[in-house]
A and B are shown apart, each in its own frame.
Chain A
Amino acid sequence: NAGVMQNPRHLVRRRGQEARLRCSPMKGHSHVYWYRQLPEEGLKFMVYLQKENIIDESGMPKERFSAEFPKEGPSILRIQQVVRGDSAAYFCASSPQGGGRDEQYFGPGTRLTVT
């Protein structure tokens, strides 16, 4: 059973470009979480999605960031018009049922560098 997959592992974008980060949850998991880890800072929750639904986006910046988890295919975190402050490691995690008492399985992360 493959773990949580994220790609790309490393992404370099120039200021103003778009970044698309992909996350494929573990087989059988329908709950996906995105977290961001800024340099020298702790992890922060961004968004929680189930298939085709955004459940909680309270941690998402109000502008330029969006997330989706379509019926088919991976979850996508999209950052438009990237700025240097977006440089960070972005992790996704998946769980089978959600609800807070569920163990979350983390992907290897995508390291985004904005030049």
Chain B
Amino acid sequence: KNEVEQSPQNLTAQEGEFITINCSYSVGISALHWLQQHPGGGIVSLFMLSSGKKKHGRLIATINIQEKHSSLHITASHPRDSAVYICAVARGGADGLTFGKGTHLIIQP
């Protein structure tokens, strides 16, 4: 079993829909990261969380440390949001990130 599990693996939605991507982890962490990767492109850091909730524009990220679970929400989704969204954790005592396999999101116009 992977230490970081994401769901769904693939998600197709219509423009304007509210999107939720989930991440569960099984190890102790010092922080959780949400990343975005466009096809053939680089990786952009969206959020780093150690507790609570963060919001940036149409993106919201939450984390529940007790349940070892985080969610990434996109409000009023747009085709330009189409990308792979990756959850990653920084484990206590180690500095390299451990990654989920990513969620492939397609927003159709």
Beyond A103-B45, A104-B33, list 14 extra A-B contacts (CB 8 Å): A42-B99, A43-B86, A43-B88, A48-B95, A55-B95, A56-B95, A98-B95, A99-B30, A100-B31, A100-B93, A101-B90, A103-B33, A106-B43, A108-B41
List the 7 shortest-distance A-B pairs measured between CB atoms, nearest first: A45-B96, A100-B30, A100-B90, A106-B43, A108-B42, A43-B99, A42-B101
Give A48 to B93 CA distance when docked, in angstroms. Answer: 13
Interface size on A, as a range, is 20 to 34
Q: Are B102 and A104 in contact (CB under 8 A)?
A: no
**Chain B residues within CB distance 8 Å of chain A:** 30-31, 33, 35, 41-45, 48, 50, 86, 88, 90-102
Among A43, A91, A99, A107, contact of B95 (Cβ-Cβ < 8 Å): A99
Give A42 to B43 CA distance when docked, in angstroms. Answer: 12
**Chain A residues within CB distance 8 Å of chain B:** 31, 33, 35, 41-48, 55-56, 58-59, 91, 93, 98-101, 103-109
Considering residues A42, A58, A109, which has the most beta carbons from chain B within 10 angstroms of its beta carbon? A42
Q: Are A33 and B86 in contact (CB under 8 A)?
A: no
Q: Are A103 and B95 in contact (CB under 8 A)?
A: no
13 contacts between A and B (CB under 8 A): A33-B95, A35-B99, A45-B96, A56-B95, A59-B96, A99-B95, A100-B91, A100-B92, A100-B94, A104-B97, A106-B35, A106-B43, A108-B42
